[in-house]
Amino acid sequence: AQSVTQLDSQVPVFEEAPVELRCNYSSSVSVYLFWYVQYPNQGLQLLLKYLSGSTLVESINGFEAEFNKSQTSFHLRKPSVHISDTAEYFCAVTNRSNDYKLSFGAGTTVTVRA
Amino acid sequence: EAQVTQNPRYLITVTGKKLTVTCSQNMNHEYMSWYRQDPGLGLRQIYYSMNVEVTDKGDVPEGYKVSRKEKRNFPLILESPSPNQTSLYFCASSLNSLGTGNNYGYTFGSGTRLTVV
């Protein structure tokens, strides 16, 4: 079985400052990794994913995440945040042999202030 | 438009009164799943289905039932709801593992906020 730990439940940040959301996973087999974003009163949207290949993956709105197998981490970063990035962010993992089961972390709430 | 549609969006019910939350997807996905979201706990999987007539328990299945008679529909049934089932519920669907690449990953519905009093 796999599991996900998001190390920060709340991250306040000023507009145009950088942000990093930490995610560590546990699995005995190879994994796929995801970050989802949930804007206030909305459903979840896929932000980015790591399936294979380059360990650095990017989203269209400036976020990036790096898969680090030795540290079992998949931290999410953005060099300069906007007010519109205020949301809850979820890290998720599935193992490659049983990929119908997506396991989520508890979530990190990012609040961007002017 | 490719989407997962859940109904209703909001529901208030009383303890013990059977209810069904519907979920439908138009993407011909094989995998479908139900999650509940609770503060501080993230999303936890209730049930999942790998294909028509193939369903199995997730992490928190107690008090819930599902069925998958058609590929597009995956209703969640609460036979006798209790207050501890008050939560935000999400249905999701995905291509199977053979569909890795740009289209891989779960697509979520907009959610159903259920209150049991």
Question: What is the pairing mode between strands B112-116 and B87-94?
Answer: antiparallel
Residues 6+ positions from A18 with CB-CB distance below 8 Å: A77, A78, A79, A80, A81
DSSP A72: T
Q: Which of B43, B101, B110 comes nearest A90 by C-beta? A: B43
Among A60, A62, A59, A79, which residue's Cα sits nearest to residue A19? A79
Alpha carbon distance B106, B90 (integer Å) = 11
Distance CA(B14)–CA(A74), nearest Å, equals 42
Q: Does A101 touch chain B (CB under 8 A)?
A: yes
Residue in A closest to B10 by C-alpha: A41
CB B105 within 8 A of CB B63: no
Q: What is the pLDDT of residue A28?
A: 82
Own/partner contacts of B46-50, CB < 8 Å, gap of 24 or more, are B46/B76, B46/B89, B47/B76, B48/A100, B48/A101, B49/B74, B50/A100, B50/B96
The predicted model gives A34-40 an average pLDDT of: 94
Could you tell me the mean pLDDT of each successive run of 10 residues in chain B, 117 residues long? 92 97 94 93 93 92 97 97 97 74 79 97
Give the model confidence (pLDDT) of A43-92 as tens digits: 899 999 998 888 999 998 899 999 999 999 999 999 999 999 999 999 99
Q: What is the pLDDT of residue A42?
A: 87
- Whether the CB of A8 is below 8 Å from some CB of chain B: the reply is no
Nearest to A106 among B42, B45, B50 (CB): B42
Whether pLDDT at A39 is above 90: yes
Would you state the pLDDT for residue B100? 59
Nearest CA-CA partner of B29 in B104, B82, B83, B114: B104
- Put simply, the chain B residues between 41 and 80 with a CB less than 8 A from any chain A CB are 41-45, 48, 50, 58
Q: State the pLDDT at residue B97.
A: 60
